[in-house]
Structure 1
Amino acid sequence: EKLARDAKPLHLALASQRTQAERLIEEAVASGARRLGDPSEEPDLMRPTILLDARADMAICREATFAPVLAVIPFDSLDEALTAQRDCDYALGASIFTRQVEKAANLASRLRTGSVSINDVIAPTAHPATPFGGSRASGWGVTQGVEGLLEMTVPQVVSVRSGRWRPHYDPPGSSSFTSSAMLRGVLEWGHAASCRERWGGLWNIIRAYWSPAEQ
């Protein structure tokens, strides 16, 4: 309580951010949460606020607000906490604070968020080599790192076929494309998962090529 009481008010980029935050705080308090931190008297400033005994179904946990407000949701087990996290629409980043780093790393693998910081907040993701991006309603795509560079590229496929034999170009009923088996064989020959299936595709091409044309 002393930390919240002594916290200095912060400037917000938009007045609407404070309006939204105060609304969410009032709704949470009316629903049973406890507020730590007094509101600032200045219209463009907001004192950091902590909401104790919040619940995952409260609007403060459902709406994105870029204001210094922290909702504390108690839980009895990690599974309960993970369920609440997965039920949230936002998944930009998470932080785990513990002395048991190995357990924290295991927990991080179960969190569906863009980044997880252990014993820190979002600062480690500022490194330019670290991919940064959220999931669900927390953003689209990735910036920074190799993944961020790939986001700014467009893949292009260039294929070159040698020779003149292209039976899959001929219409059905022609001398070289006798049935749908020819096209199926070409696809199997070029894209089947196993060597056996590819050789089977080649055999289907040969058999279709020498079979009588469809009427």
Structure 2
Amino acid sequence: MTHPFLLLEWLAHKLHLESLIENPDSLKAVIYTWLVMLVLIAIAFLASRAIKVVPTGTQNFMEVVVGGIENLIDETMGPKGKTYFPLIATFALFILVSNLVGLVPGFYPPTANLNTNFALALTVFAMTHIIGFKEHGLSYLKHFMGPILVLAPLMFIIEIIGHLARPLSLSLRLFGNMYGHEIVLMIFFALVPFLLPVPMMLMGVLVACIQTFVFSLLAMIYIAGALEEAH
């Protein structure tokens, strides 16, 4: 389905640079990913340029957001989770802003592209096992053996399949929800450009927040599992 209006395509047409958008889906995801990164950098700069003891404005808002993420990490991962706060917070903030960008007319959410989500999911997958081996050494392999030695070969195969399915489930869950919501918005905007899409956009804010929470929570659970001792 063709998006009714995208700022990127409009600018390319005005500047006679149509050749740059021959593969629009991949290019849109990359460009809007960079846009999200610039937004996050700008917010970080505004929040930290004049730090006050009694926070106001952007600093106050970001302290609430960061504090909420930190509390969730403490509740989900325990004391060891604080070490991985930068990783989890980066996932949460990037995914949230990426999801919300799609609600701005003329903009495309990077998370509506499977490549973006799969890259995020592969990062979670890789970091989970890197952290596991860092924490336990070769003993981390016991996580894949199960509690009964006789069943270790069978459990190893089952565990490997389960772990390999994680990136697929993480990426498809986020992609399916964001792409589906993008299609719904496109249909409503095409049929009724005014008023009617507003409730859908409000629902989009809820969907964006829920999907961010689900992805971040699953990432925390996977990493917490790698930190635990094998039984």
Q: TM-score, normalised by structure 2?
A: 0.19
Which of the pair is proportionally richer in helix?
2
Q: Whose strand fraction is larger, Structure 1's or Structure 2's?
A: 1
Structure index of larger Rg: 1
